[in-house]
Amino acid sequence: MARKLIFGEIKDVKEGDHFINRKIMMPSSFHRMWARGIDGDKNIGAAAICLSGGYEDDFDSGDLIIYTGAGGQENKKQVEDQSWDHPDNMALYNSFIEGYPVRVIRGHKHKSEFSPATGYTYSGLYKISDAWIERGKSIYKVCRFKLEYDGESQIGAKSINLDYRTREKKRRKDIVVRVVRDTMLSKTIKELYDYECQVCGLRIKTKVGYYAEGAHIRPLGKPHNGDDNINNLLCLCPNHHVMFDKGVFTIKDDFSLSGYESGKLNIHDEHNISIENIKYHRESYD
Ligand SMILES: [Zn+2]
């Protein structure tokens, strides 16, 4: 019996709701898989994930979750590399690419201050803002997903408590800081290249001037902690920015392009790109 895959909120289920077990989440399509963390379709996307302590690399600070993909385990131990080919990882990666909301469920076995003592809690909708590969604690490679709380629909709901209020304030401040910083540094790199994409040379003329994007090589913020520095930035057109962030192409140490793009990155004499960051991007997103 195939239950329908439903994205976003499920009727009659609210953030903070408690479930005594996994089975009762299934009939409504809230989370349809009894023993799996990721609920989705590899060709469409994933609509829900459950954190239940099965993966040692999972990280949880409330609004920010670094979730580990599926696979490579035997008797609950990581014994081989994970890959994007695993259907569950493909499903979640599709949600990343498409920007679908993901319902996050925390179980009592998940080690976090946000976990319930028993059963499971619905923690609201999250958006996936990043996906990459890294070596986990086990030394094997694991697929990683950065999930950020996106449950703004909860504002105005009757049960807003103090936690939510502090969470809102904190997030707004973070966003403002990030935008300002991006704008200033991006402007420098874009002017250095006269708004020409370093991959394809495209220079987009708008009604008010030229348009290009500053792309961070090693992403800023948790968990990558890339440098806020011109040596960690590229001037790219929007297409190549998206393709670079999603690992559609990568850059070799000699600045030749690999993957979907070939040729060489155009580099200005005054632009000392960090090889270490290029490597980091390649190892994480290739
Ligand atoms: Zn381009």
- Tell me the pLDDT tens digit for each residue of 52-81: 999 999 999 999 999 999 999 998 899 999
Ligand 1 centroid to Cα of residue 262, in Å, is 12
Token pair for residue 32?
A: 């349809």
- Rounded to an integer, the average pLDDT of 139-157 is 79
Token pair for residue 121?
A: 């809690």
Is pLDDT of 281 > 50? yes
Ligand 1 centroid to Cα of residue 96, in Å, is 22
Is pLDDT of 45 > 80? yes
Ligand 1 centroid to Cα of residue 228, in Å, is 22
Is pLDDT of 150 > 60? yes
Ligand 1 centroid to Cα of residue 166, in Å, is 40
The neighbour count for residue 98, using CB atoms within 10 Å, is 11
Ligand 1 centroid to Cα of residue 196, in Å, is 8
pLDDT value of position 154: 44
Ligand 1 centroid to Cα of residue 213, in Å, is 10
pLDDT tens digit string along 2-15? 789 999 999 999 99
* Coil/strand/helix, residue 128: strand
Residues with Cβ within 8 Å of residue 214, at least 6 apart in sequence: 182, 185, 186, 187, 189, 190, 233, 234, 235
pLDDT value of position 266: 98
Which residue in this structure is represented by tokens 């140490």? 253
Work out the mean pLDDT of the chain and round it to a whole number. Answer: 89
- Rounded to an integer, the average pLDDT of 233-255 is 96
pTM summary value: 0.79
- Rounded to an integer, the average pLDDT of 234-240 is 96
Ligand 1 centroid to Cα of residue 266, in Å, is 11
Ligand 1 centroid to Cα of residue 201, in Å, is 6
pLDDT value of position 161: 38
Ligand 1 centroid to Cα of residue 212, in Å, is 9
pLDDT tens digit string along 162-182? 344 445 545 555 554 544 455
Ligand 1 centroid to Cα of residue 65, in Å, is 31
Number of continuous H segments (helices) and E segments (strands) in the chain: 4, 16
- Rounded to an integer, the average pLDDT of 268-280 is 97
Ligand 1 centroid to Cα of residue 66, in Å, is 30
Ligand 1 centroid to Cα of residue 131, in Å, is 22
Is pLDDT of 49 > 60? yes
Is pLDDT of 260 > 80? yes
The fraction of the chain above a pLDDT of 70, given in percent, is: 88
pLDDT value of position 183: 64
Helix, strand, coil shares, percent, the chain, to 5: 25, 25, 50
Ligand 1 centroid to Cα of residue 260, in Å, is 12
